[in-house]
Structure 1
Amino acid sequence: MAKFPRFLIITSGIGAVVGGSVILKDFIVGNGQKLPETVRADGKVCIVTGSNTGIGKETAMELARRGCKVYMACRDIEKCRKARAEIISDTLNQHVHCRKCDLADFESVRQFVTEFKTKESKLDILINNGGIMRCPRKLTKQGIEMQLGVNHMGHFLLTNLLLDTLTSSAPSRIVNVSSIAHTRGTINFEDLNSEKSYDPGAAYNQSKLANVLFTKELAERLQGTGVIVNAVHPGIVKTELGRHMGLENSIMASLFVKPLLSFFLKSPVQGALTSIYVALAPSLENKTGKYFSDCKEKDPSEQAMDPIVAKRLWATSEKWTRLYNSDSSSPSLVAAM
């Protein structure tokens, strides 16, 4: 049997590893395609929450590039102004505006909506992008567990307060940024506010499942209005969202884990592709209540399709956000209902 030179064997091995890594990366990252540049949004008014960084910033950037008037709804107004300047410089679109909107404070959400309505009479696109992930247990100003409060409750209130404007502007669209993590989630009505026990991952998964359930129920309620609503999974993206996962302060993680992970993660630009697609694609004008990943419709988890869970979550969300009145039970009491 002929012997192969060692360097050929090593080279072949390296090639196999590299090739396999590229294939694996394509499988993990996905292959969402950028919406054609010919799809414009000139004159449309849109809101993007959490748009001072990451996916939200790139989403706002692309909408501005396509001609939208963009309202950046952010908690940190200074970071928002810096991002706004970059977006205007890159797109040459002057119609980009910063507005304070802290999703962890319902008063801030209501104030944002009031100010928006004094400036605009229409809203074509609402992208509920802002969120947090796997943070230590904290509470919003109204006493709701932070991940559920920001990722779901804040957006639930914001969306409902804007429904009149969205409806009068129809055809219009709502995009709820969820995650594949919703497939691991459960809506724990016995401890929805994580008062009995708290696991950062489980709380995040629950909040992302809530995004999809909210999408399904809202789509049903909006039938016939010309307002469509869909949920998206942006992919596993390299953003600031993972800052609570313990990688920032670890030397080992900084030297080895983070560089390796970065190879397999989407960039924020790639992560924004599905949100842009669902917000603007002409082919989706009659698609509502769906879940998308890599610019393709996918099946969400079985629990995300449960109408009973969706309606119960909606009723609870109405009470916790005090959507229709200022007299509401505390989260812990409502959760036990």
Structure 2
Amino acid sequence: MAHGRFDNPVVASMTGILDIFRKQKLSERLTDNDRIDGKTCLVTGANTGLGFAIAVDLAKRGAKVIMACRSQIPEAGEKVKKISGSDNVVMKYLDLSKIDTIHSFVADLKNENITLDFTVLNAGVALPKAKKTASGLDEIFLVNYLSNFILLNLLLNNGIIPNSTISKNKKLEDKPSRVIFISSDSHQKSSFIDHDEFGRYFEYGLKKGMNNYSYYKLVLNTLAVEISKRMNKDTANPDVSFNVICPGPVNTNIVRDAPWLIRMLLKGIFSIFFQSPEKAAKAVSYITISNDFEGKTAAYMHMFNPKEMDYKIYIPEEGIKLWEHSVEVWKRVDENAVLNI
């Protein structure tokens, strides 16, 4: 059975705290002068926490920001406008636990002729036990992995993320659109992907619920590397850039579904030791917009430090099997699956 690195949230938190004290090699590379005026950014899970802070920072830098959220519409968007001083912020409904909303969301973007310069895949959940969705899939598998796979396929197929490989709507003079996966360094030392149990629903309790978070970050990172290969035959001149970042430990409400005692303990640790979302968002903005990542794909940053991901992520056969099994599950649960990559 697949497992993540940590099944004890306190140990995971202590490991995260140590990361804060490590030297951030490239922290001075991002300045207030790094602007993206006229560019369009999508941030999923942008109504609260890290996603909200990312939306604020990108809006301050001149971008049109599309906040894709399942709640707090339009209140969160109005807050982003007020804090950033920009009115170029819109909110759209997207619930990654419901596949039909992904199709509706992408159709809405297409109808408005929106193309994305930057896409930040931030939305995710941490659940203490199994939770079956309407599609029959476990919610953490669907929200933290498969829905990102579906969303990316639809955005690329429809040319909302411009590209020359599938939709063929990218202009020669256009810079590659960038996709950023928000991950966690806790993916390191997670197990190999269990392809036999992949996409199957089964009941589990708190221990596996705890380590599922880091396990599905390894799965997500494997997707980032595999889709980069499929979309970029020439990695030195990428068609679309796909990069990954762990922003470090962030004081958010991600443990809201944990048992009461664990939730109170972790919230105390988070509030005292973890970074604010605003501080963590700076590292995300760096990998998203900086010229340092021009022409780079399948790169990984741990906060402001370049780093290698877990070795399993780079095994070609693992990426191929993940892609094939993702396609199988998508076709099984969604009659509108579109597969061209």
* TM-score bracket relative to the smaller structure: 0.7 to 0.9
Bigger radius of gyration = 1
Amino acid at match of 2:137: I
Distance 1:48 1:217, change over 3 A: same
CA distance in 2, matches of 1:194, 1:244: 22
Deviations along 1:147-205, whole A, 9 cap, x unmatched?
11101111111111111232226421000111112114231112224645632023222
Is this contact kept in 2: 1:177–1:211, CA < 8 A? no
Q: Tell me which residue corresponds to 1:182.
A: 187
- Any stretches of 5+ residues in structure 2 without a counterpart? 1-15, 164-169
Distance 1:261 1:39, change over 3 A: closer
Distance 1:25 1:131, change over 3 A: closer
Deviation at 1:141, TM superposition (A): 2.5
Q: How large is the RMSD of aligned CA atoms in angstroms?
A: 2.4
Name which of structure 1's ranges 194-203 and 273-282 shifts more when overlaid on structure 2. 194-203
Q: Tell me which residue corresponds to 1:234.
A: 247
Number of residue pairs matched?
299
SS of residue matched to 2:249: coil
SS of residue matched to 1:42: coil
Amino acid at match of 1:295: F
The structure, 1 or 2, with the larger RCO (C-alpha pairs under 8 Å, 6+ apart) is 2
Deviation at 1:31, TM superposition (A): 5.2
SS of residue matched to 1:311: helix
TM-score (norm 2): 0.81
CA distance in 2, matches of 1:232, 1:262: 22
Amino acid at match of 1:28: I
Is this contact kept in 2: 1:129–1:176, CA < 8 A? yes
SS of residue matched to 1:326: coil
- Any stretches of 5+ residues in structure 1 without a counterpart? 1-23, 329-337
Q: Tell me which residue corresponds to 1:311.
A: 320
| Aligned counterpart in structure 1 of residue 217 of structure 2, from 208, 212, 217 | 208
SS of residue matched to 2:92: strand
Is this contact kept in 2: 1:50–1:129, CA < 8 A? yes
| Aligned counterpart in structure 2 of residue 57 of structure 1, from 52, 61, 67 | 52
CA distance in 2, matches of 1:237, 1:161: 30
TM-score (norm 1): 0.82
Amino acid at match of 2:50: I
Deviation at 1:295, TM superposition (A): 2.1
Is this contact kept in 1: 2:244–2:298, CA < 8 A? yes
Is this contact kept in 2: 1:174–1:229, CA < 8 A? yes
CA distance in 2, matches of 1:253, 1:320: 33
Q: Tell me which residue corresponds to 2:33.
A: 38
Identity of aligned residues (%): 28
- Whose helix fraction is larger, Structure 1's or Structure 2's? 1
CA distance in 1, matches of 2:332, 2:304: 33
Is this contact kept in 1: 2:252–2:270, CA < 8 A? no
CA distance in 2, matches of 1:253, 1:131: 17
SS of residue matched to 2:256: helix
Q: What are the within-5 Å matches in structure 2 for residues 238-277 of structure 1?
A: 238-246=251-259, 249-250=260-261, 254=264, 258-277=267-286
Q: Tell me which residue corresponds to 1:172.
A: 177
Distance 1:150 1:196, change over 3 A: closer
